[in-house]
Amino acid sequence: MIPAEFDYEAPESLEEAIRMLHENGEDAKLLAGGHSLLPLMKLRLAAPTVLIDLRRIPGLHGIQREDGVWRVGAMTRHADLQDNEELGVVSRAASLIADQQVRNRGTIGGSLAHGDPASDLPAVMLVSDGEVTARGLSGQRTIAAADLFQDFLTTALEHDEVITEVRLPVLEGYGFGYQKFTRRAEDWAMVGVCALVKKGADGSCEDVRIGLTHMGTTPLRATAAEDALRGEALGADSIARAAEHAAEGTHPPGDLNASPEYKRHLARTLTGRALMEAAGL
């Protein structure tokens, strides 16, 4: 449980951090809340030779609503998301991450950059059509959530890029549901489901988005279930029929807690519950 030796840097500007990342190459790692990276280092599954701490860099914290978009600084902690209920499903999902100690340290930028398909916020980003702003030596770019998560613990970020901000459209008129199944309270999700539903004036489903956590090597959209519900009258029967499609096209990894078949069962059941919650039924 003792990590390999490493150097520690605490830059005071973003430019300095990016330069340090670039100069130290693949052996350097950014440190945010440390709640994914440090456990990996203690298990010696990661052995960076330099840690570049983002905590002293100004301008990476905070939540602002501007022109129909939530702008969330990359170093904003899960606890801050949890406390801001106006963020809707983002706040709910953050409140279900681990325990309060983890939420007091872990950050949204760290969670998204880590790219763990068992994490709660990546699927929420996906259904919200969120995007991240990344800065590197060659400038700044925007990466849509749909392009960010590429494989298990693998994102589209270049080695010397820092996520500076997360942008989430304000989804007016959507109800939300978030369901997370764990073996013990405060565990990682065996499976998690995030649902957003927009009701039309006639009570039909004008739009629906469903995100799945831990059902593959990246967060996924349950598009077959979405297609089955969109345009239908919203009710327990139509939701139950749509939820039956939730696991279509998924290849969940089996692990000590659940077989792939059990995870598919969980995805169908939790999708039904999350949709009922999102539809206010």
Ligand X SMILES: Cc1cc2nc3c(=O)[nH]c(=O)nc-3n(C[C@H](O)[C@H](O)[C@H](O)COP(=O)(O)OP(=O)(O)OC[C@H]3O[C@@H](n4cnc5c(N)ncnc54)[C@H](O)[C@@H]3O)c2cc1C
Binding site for ligand X (CB under 6 A): 29-37, 39, 54, 74, 97-98, 102, 105-107, 109-111, 113-114, 119-121, 157, 162-163, 188
Q: How far is CA 28 from CA 32, 55, 133, 280, in A?
A: 13, 16, 20, 47
For ligand X, which is the closer residue by CB, 104 or 204? 104
State the nearest-atom distance from the C-beta of 80 to ligand X, in Å.
Answer: 12
For ligand X, which is the closer residue by CB, 211 or 238? 211
Distance of CA 74 to the CA centre of its chain: 12
Go through 97-125 and write b for each residue having 16 or more CB atoms within 10 A of its CB, e for each that does not. Answer: beeeebbebbbbbbbbbbbbbbbbbbbbb
State the nearest-atom distance from the C-beta of 156 to ligand X, in Å.
Answer: 11
Sign of torsion over alpha carbons 66, 149, 195, 257:
negative
For ligand X, which is the closer residue by CB, 109 or 211? 109
For ligand X, which is the closer residue by CB, 29 or 245? 29
Of 179, 178, 152, 155, nearest in space to 166 by CA: 155
State the nearest-atom distance from the C-beta of 275 to ligand X, in Å.
Answer: 22
State the nearest-atom distance from the C-beta of 240 to ligand X, in Å.
Answer: 28
For ligand X, which is the closer residue by CB, 125 or 228? 125
Distance between start and end Cα atoms, the chain: 48
State the nearest-atom distance from the C-beta of 209 to ligand X, in Å.
Answer: 19
User: Can you tell me the distance from the alpha carbon of 68 to that of 129, in angstroms, rounded to the nearest whole number?
Assistant: 13
User: Can you tell me the distance from the alpha carbon of 157 to that of 26, in angstroms, rounded to the nearest whole number?
Assistant: 13
Of 114, 108, 152, nearest in space to 130 by CA: 108
CB 232 within 8 A of CB 238: yes
State the nearest-atom distance from the C-beta of 202 to ligand X, in Å.
Answer: 37
For ligand X, which is the closer residue by CB, 36 or 271? 36
For residue 181, the cross-strand partners are 191
